[in-house]
Chains A and B, each alone.
Chain A
Amino acid sequence: MSERRIVIDPVTRIEGHARITLYLNADGQVENARFHVTQFRAFEKLCEGRPFSEMPALMARICGICPVSHLIASAKACDQILGTRIPPVAVQLRRLLNLAQIVQSHALSFFHLSAPDFLLGMDSDPARRNLFGLIEKHPEMARDGIRLRKFGQQVIERLAGKRIHPAWVVPGGVSEPLAPAAREAILAGLPEMRAIAQRTLVWFKSVLHEFREEAATFANFPTLFLGLVGPDGELEHYDGQIRVVDAAGRIVADRLEPERYRDYLGESVEPDSYLKSPYYKPEGYPDGIYRVGPLARLNIADRCGTHAADQEWAEFRQLERGAVLSSFYYHYARLVEILYALERIEQILAEPQILGRHVRAQAAANHPEGIGVAEAPRGTLIHHYRVDEAGVIQWANLIIATGHNNLAMNRGILQAARRFVDGNRLSEGALNRVEAVIRAFDPCLSCSTHAVGQMALRIELRGPEGELLDEMSRGA
């Protein structure tokens, strides 16, 4: 490995603490890249000794942006410990909550964090390339983003009582049924939200050609794609079974039981990062690289299962003959998923039994182990617990979406850095593109990030003897 390095430190959008190292050869060209997550959360250890019934509320604290995802995966694991089938109404209510979470989280990623790049330009003044610059230049787009995010949060609030860290999802179901007034209020807001999602899709598709280079170089390479699909191969976020497809779009494995994830997923640990690197076991490490999240979900599904989203999905899949490979298209996939989520919310609210009162099954701990798997906004989320006879947690393992994508993010920054970074002279636009690769994956950053629209970071360019050749910093 070469000794010349460019270090981006910190990168604030992965759990708050991360850095990127670009290794240069003697000619100043990027030879390798590493993405280091330097923060240790320790949730798997600190929950040991707690009653399993506390786990959903405890695990929701992992993140302030996607607490609902952890709540749901955790509650599903606890359902298995109870050994009970939760009431069908509760399944649909949890599904609603998860869809609302996807709407608000995807809206945050697309409108607040990434739209400044699309609308103001990758090379635009970094001081204005953020949400505030977006508001100034494109207030209508900023308003749309705010409306969508607010809607998603309001649905969560109407269902679960509060927007962040709700305690409504419990082992065995949910704590309260859906109120008729809440149902009506959510339904009333849907037409406007659908209009926002559809006009944003129209706009984004119209500007895609301006980002050909980014699409070509932002983690654009063959990998596997993994996620949940429904019984008929449709898009699924709450239940279902695991499907794996390859870069050609061929199904490599199907109907894998999520509870048997350890049979087909390995977890590698790298010495320079606290973020695990899961891989698909049959292909080994690191060849078993795969991606999860919106791009993967649209690649593995046979269809979305709702009218307008199905049309958008079909058009999306026309981008390539096999699977859509460029991670730049995560942004596009997010918009399709927002539309799908809004349509699906309407479908579920139209079900006559959705106001049913039986929403929770009661039981004690009946099984020593529980595994909960759901699709979070950023990808497949796995919670796995073991308890003793009293229901006290003895061991836990979590695989979070950002981890699944770790290998691909590493390879992605290398690809973009090789294309855009000149090791002898740093440019802000090149630096922003390296960031933007990470941003496309939308790693679970919002619980800890402090920046809106741009990372606070410092890059140092050092020679073979460690001498400082150039440096650039911005933000705090």
Chain B
Amino acid sequence: MSVLILGYGNPLAGDDGAGWRAAETLASSLEQPGVRVLTCRQLTPELAAEAAEASLVIFLDASVELPPGKVSCRRVTPQPATAPFSHQFTPAALLSLVEQLYGRRPEAVLFSVGARSFVGENLSSEVEQALPALLEQVKELVARVMQAGKPADEPARSAPSDDFFSVMH
């Protein structure tokens, strides 16, 4: 059983750093075997090697599509990149690389929080207030999968039941 949490964004660009900040907090509160937390400014191809070793990948990111402070969670499935631009490298494209290069298909979810401002080093009040709920949801998901022991020790090749992700609302 192994979980990789990837918080990404620029912590010097306001709410864009929400995923990074969330991951930093989780790194200390989720210190346990089988859980690895990484922060990065953007998703890059070499993260495929990290993701290939996980059974479950949890992406944490800011979103411009959600209302400020709203948290959403959705499953992510592999989808080849449509454009060869590194700054548009999406979780789905990363998972596609994992599948192409390593023949593995970890389960994956993306937690997003709606952003308001991309200026300065601080999060907006909306995102700041939303973070505890986001963190709780991630912790709940991690606890659930660790307790269930699923996906198995080997990276998952088939999708688990929907019930497995029932924490996602």
Q: Cβ of B97: which chain A residues have Cβ within 8 Å of it?
A: 135
Q: Evaluate contact between A164 and B40: CB separation under 8 angstroms.
A: yes
In the complex, chain A residues 451-476 whose Cβ is within 8 Å of any chain B Cβ: 451-454, 475-476
Give the nearest-CB partner of A112 in chain B.
Answer: B45
B40, B84, B100: the one contacting A451 at CB < 8 Å is B84
Which of A140-148, A171-179, A295-303, A311-319 faces chain B?
A140-148
A112, A135, A164: the one contacting B100 at CB < 8 Å is A135
Which of B46-54, B66-74, B134-142 faces chain A?
B46-54
Is residue B101 contacting chain A, with contact meaning CB distance below 8 A? Answer: yes
B40, B46, B80, B86: the one contacting A449 at CB < 8 Å is B86
Give the nearest-CB partner of A126 in chain B.
Answer: B84
Is residue A153 contacting chain B, with contact meaning CB distance below 8 A? Answer: yes
Give the nearest-CB partner of A12 in chain B.
Answer: B85
Is residue A274 contacting chain B, with contact meaning CB distance below 8 A? Answer: no
The answer for the CA separation of A475 and B39 in the assembled complex, in Å, is 28
Q: Evaluate contact between B100 and A147: CB separation under 8 angstroms.
A: no
Is residue B169 contacting chain A, with contact meaning CB distance below 8 A? Answer: no
The answer for the CA separation of A143 and B97 in the assembled complex, in Å, is 10
Do A450 and B45 contact each other (CB < 8 Å), given the known contacts A135-B101, A139-B101?
no
Is residue A17 contacting chain B, with contact meaning CB distance below 8 A? Answer: no
B80, B87, B102: the one contacting A132 at CB < 8 Å is B80
Is residue A413 contacting chain B, with contact meaning CB distance below 8 A? Answer: no
A139, A147, A451: the one contacting B49 at CB < 8 Å is A147
Q: Cβ of A476: which chain B residues have Cβ within 8 Å of it?
A: 83, 85
Q: How many A-B residue pairs have CB under 8 A?
A: 50
Give the nearest-CB partner of A163 in chain B.
Answer: B40
The 8 A CB mask of A154-166 against B (1 = contact, 0 = none) is 0000000011100
Q: Evaluate contact between A450 and B85: CB separation under 8 angstroms.
A: yes
The answer for the CA separation of A450 and B49 in the assembled complex, in Å, is 21
Q: Cβ of A87: which chain B residues have Cβ within 8 Å of it?
A: none
Q: Cβ of B130: which chain A residues have Cβ within 8 Å of it?
A: none
Is residue A150 contacting chain B, with contact meaning CB distance below 8 A? Answer: yes
Is residue A64 contacting chain B, with contact meaning CB distance below 8 A? Answer: yes
CB distance from B87 to the nearest CB of A (A): 5
Q: Cβ of B84: which chain A residues have Cβ within 8 Å of it?
A: 130-132, 451-454
Give the nearest-CB partner of A131 in chain B.
Answer: B45
Q: Cβ of A139: which chain B residues have Cβ within 8 Å of it?
A: 100-101
Q: Cβ of B83: which chain A residues have Cβ within 8 Å of it?
A: 476
In the complex, chain B residues 69-111 whose Cβ is within 8 Å of any chain A Cβ: 80-81, 83-87, 97, 100-102
The answer for the CA separation of A87 and B163 in the assembled complex, in Å, is 57
The answer for the CA separation of A221 and B112 in the assembled complex, in Å, is 53
The 8 A CB mask of A111-155 against B (1 = contact, 0 = none) is 010000000000000000011100110010011001101100100
Give the nearest-CB partner of B84 in chain A.
Answer: A130
Give the nearest-CB partner of A128 in chain B.
Answer: B84
Is residue B41 contacting chain A, with contact meaning CB distance below 8 A? Answer: yes
A146, A164, A452, A454: the one contacting B46 at CB < 8 Å is A146
Do A142 and B101 contact each other (CB < 8 Å), given the known contacts A450-B86, A452-B86?
yes
Q: Cβ of B86: which chain A residues have Cβ within 8 Å of it?
A: 449-452
Q: Evaluate contact between A150 and B50: CB separation under 8 angstroms.
A: yes
Q: Cβ of B87: which chain A residues have Cβ within 8 Å of it?
A: 450
The answer for the CA separation of A136 and B83 in the assembled complex, in Å, is 14
Do A149 and B46 contact each other (CB < 8 Å), given the known contacts A451-B86, A452-B86?
yes
Q: Evaluate contact between A132 and B41: CB separation under 8 angstroms.
A: no
Q: Cβ of A452: which chain B residues have Cβ within 8 Å of it?
A: 45, 84-86
Q: Evaluate contact between B41 and A64: CB separation under 8 angstroms.
A: yes
Q: Evaluate contact between A164 and B101: CB separation under 8 angstroms.
A: no
CB distance from B55 to the nearest CB of A (A): 19
Q: Cβ of A132: which chain B residues have Cβ within 8 Å of it?
A: 80-81, 84
The answer for the CA separation of A454 and B83 in the assembled complex, in Å, is 11
CB distance from B165 to the nearest CB of A (A): 28
CB distance from A435 to the nearest CB of B (A): 14
Q: Evaluate contact between B48 and A146: CB separation under 8 angstroms.
A: yes
In the complex, chain A residues 384-399 whose Cβ is within 8 Å of any chain B Cβ: none
Q: Cβ of B45: which chain A residues have Cβ within 8 Å of it?
A: 112, 131, 142, 146, 452
The answer for the CA separation of A64 and B13 in the assembled complex, in Å, is 15
The answer for the CA separation of A103 and B100 in the assembled complex, in Å, is 24
Q: Evaluate contact between A146 and B100: CB separation under 8 angstroms.
A: no
Q: Cβ of A131: which chain B residues have Cβ within 8 Å of it?
A: 45, 84
The answer for the CA separation of A131 and B48 in the assembled complex, in Å, is 13
CB distance from B31 to the nearest CB of A (A): 15
The answer for the CA separation of A163 and B83 in the assembled complex, in Å, is 26
The answer for the CA separation of A434 and B102 in the assembled complex, in Å, is 34
List 18 A–B pairs whose Cβ atoms lie within 8 Å, in order of A's numbering: A64-B41, A112-B45, A135-B97, A135-B100, A139-B101, A146-B46, A146-B48, A147-B49, A150-B49, A162-B39, A164-B40, A164-B41, A449-B86, A452-B45, A452-B86, A453-B84, A475-B85, A476-B85
Chain B interface residues (CB < 8 Å from chain A): 39-41, 45-46, 48-50, 80-81, 83-87, 97, 100-102
In the complex, given contacts A132-B84, A450-B87, what are 4 additional A-B residue pairs having Cβ atoms less than 8 angstroms apart?
A: A131-B45, A143-B102, A146-B45, A451-B86
Please name the 8 residue pairs, one residue from A and one from B, whose CB atoms are nearest each other, closest first: A130-B84, A452-B86, A452-B84, A150-B46, A146-B46, A450-B87, A149-B46, A150-B49
Chain A interface residues (CB < 8 Å from chain B): 64, 112, 130-132, 135-136, 139, 142-143, 146-147, 149-150, 153, 162-164, 449-454, 475-476
